[in-house]
Amino acid sequence: MEGDIRIHGKSASVYVVSASTFRPENSTIVVRPYTRKWEKDTMLRIREVSMRSSPPAPHSFVIPPRCTARHDVPALVFSTGGCGANFFHAMSDLIVPLYITSREYDRRVQLLITDYQPEWVAKFRPILDALSMYPVIDFDADTAVRCFPSARVGLQSHKILGIDPALSRTGYTTMGFRDFLRSIFSLPRAWTSPVSRSSGKKPRLLMVLRRHSRAITNEDDAIAAMTELGFEVVAAKPKDVSDMGTFAGGGELVRRDGGRARRRADQHGVLASQCHDSADRPLGRYGGGPVPDMGLRYAEDHPVFTDPGSLHRQGKLWEIFLQGQNVTLDIGRFKGAMQQVYESVTTDNGQEEREEDGEWEPPLASRGAVMAAAGGGGGMRF
């Protein structure tokens, strides 16, 4: 929307004064500015914003509110009231779409957030500051009538946790988003160099460990097995996630269980995750889908259970999989899969020399690199 735009957050109203595109049938449009339009329950938690258009004078009989604050930059209104407390959804539903929508303004854009969550804003403050040079406005509590030359209500989203350059007006890419995050957190290392097996150096394996649900019950055995393979193992627990950018910097491999680690790994590195049953197939797609776009490789597993559908039909997905299931790794199978990954991020001296000359291509870990996983909630194991 461009022209005389007046926004009153307290009443959740956006006025387009003397709109050249005015039609009686679209004089008022109500939207919920959140990206997960297909999830009805989620969208019901999002505050409605009314966009009211009036025809050009002298045909307008609507008197818009008078401006009490004027801005010379565009406005962008969006909600953090959906699933933003979850890190996966914060990135997929909010941060990536916000990057797509606002990056083109080169920080000259005013962000107004409805369903304002102070904790969310504080957590992602470095990213918000990198996208806008102005303090974020709590849309719902704002009593001012703010006038803007243009405004957008809602964020542009291309796909789950990713960017489609063909849909971006400015050709943004997932790789560009990754570099954007690197610049924010001052992470100098963008590429993973191959580790020579004869040098005595070890590739660094970052294991992102959960607590409470979907935790690895035999994580000590898993860490010992990875150390025996030749990895330098670094275990990241929930308290480490707040500084995950620095913590994960320099890892050749990120292994995770859940939705946290995929945004931080070096190019030519490997991301490995485990899917607990067939219900986790979408999570596998969401985890693995964006990975090639970021210059990484995804070591994918093949979950096998006899009849997971019977549990899903009983509505047990949340109870059994998301909340009630821990993981007991079959160390032998896990070690065999990780052996393939180890060989993928290490090299002999000849390859290392070629890499220094800019000719080295990283060996791809086979897409069939199997990750052993098991459900622990019901005592299942394989």
Do 241 and 317 fall within a single domain?
A: yes
In this structure, what CATH number is given to the domain that contains residue 311?
Answer: 3.40.50
Is residue 71 a part of any domain in this protein?
A: yes
Element (H, E) at 301: none
* Separation CA 130–CA 133 (nearest Å): 7
For 326-378, the pLDDT digits (tens) are 889 999 999 998 998 898 889 886 454 444 444 444 443 333 233 333 333 33
Is residue 188 a part of any domain in this protein?
A: no
Domain boundary among 134, 157, 172: 172
Do 239 and 325 fall within a single domain?
A: yes
User: What is the structure's pLDDT at 91?
Assistant: 93
pLDDT values of the chain reduced to their tens digit, one per residue, 382 residues: 898 999 999 999 999 987 767 677 668 999 999 999 999 999 999 999 999 988 776 666 668 899 999 999 999 999 999 987 888 899 999 999 999 999 999 999 999 999 999 999 999 999 999 999 999 999 999 999 999 999 999 999 999 989 999 999 899 999 999 999 989 988 766 566 778 888 888 988 888 888 777 788 999 999 999 999 999 998 887 666 555 555 555 555 555 454 444 444 455 556 565 555 444 444 444 445 555 666 655 555 433 345 666 656 666 666 665 666 788 999 999 999 899 889 888 988 645 444 444 444 444 333 323 333 333 333 333 2
User: What is the structure's pLDDT at 325?
Assistant: 75
User: What is the structure's pLDDT at 259?
Assistant: 45
Q: DSSP secondary structure string, 212-244?
A: SSS-BTTHHHHHHHHHHHT-EEEEE-GGGGGGH
Is residue 126 a part of any domain in this protein?
A: yes
Q: At 52, which amino acid appears?
A: R
Is residue 260 a part of any domain in this protein?
A: yes
For 156-213, the pLDDT digits (tens) are 999 998 999 999 989 999 999 999 998 998 876 656 677 888 888 898 888 888 877 7
Pick from 235, 246, 231, 233: nearest CA to 201? 231
Residues recorded for the chain: 382
Q: At 120, which amino acid appears?
A: W
Do 164 and 300 fall within a single domain?
A: no
Pick from 373, 376, 259, 366: nearest CA to 321? 376
Is residue 84 a part of any domain in this protein?
A: yes
- Count other C-beta atoms under 10 Å from residue 295's C-beta: 19
Q: Dihedral, CA atoms, 313, 314, 315, 318, nearest 10 degrees?
A: -100
Q: Note down the domain range covering 38.
A: 2-172
Do 236 and 307 fall within a single domain?
A: yes
Do 231 and 133 fall within a single domain?
A: no
Looking at the structure of the chain, the number of domains it has is: 2
Do 162 and 201 fall within a single domain?
A: no
Domain boundary among 172, 203, 232: 172
Is residue 127 a part of any domain in this protein?
A: yes
User: What is the structure's pLDDT at 198?
Assistant: 86
CB-CB contact of 51 with 28 (8 Å): yes
Do 166 and 212 fall within a single domain?
A: no
Do 167 and 212 fall within a single domain?
A: no
pTM greater than 0.75 (yes/no): no
* Separation CA 220–CA 71 (nearest Å): 56
Do 220 and 336 fall within a single domain?
A: yes
Structure tokens that stand for 200 in this block: 């005595």
CA angle 147, 151, 155 (to 5 degrees): 145
Do 339 and 202 fall within a single domain?
A: yes
User: In sequence order, which residues have a C-beta less than 8 Å from that of residue 243 and are 6 or more positions away?
Assistant: none
Largest CA distance in the chain: 82
Is residue 340 a part of any domain in this protein?
A: yes
Beta strands in 131-194 (DSSP E): 137-138, 145-153
Q: In terms of C-beta distances under 8 Å and separation of at least 24 residues, what long-range contacts does 354-363 make, across chains too?
A: 355/193, 355/194, 360/194, 362/192, 362/194, 362/268, 362/297
Q: At 292, which amino acid appears?
A: P
Q: DSSP code of 87?
A: H
User: What is the structure's pLDDT at 354?
Assistant: 44
Do 20 and 168 fall within a single domain?
A: yes
Do 51 and 146 fall within a single domain?
A: yes
Phi, psi angle pair for 102, to nearest 5°: -105, -15
Is residue 106 a part of any domain in this protein?
A: yes
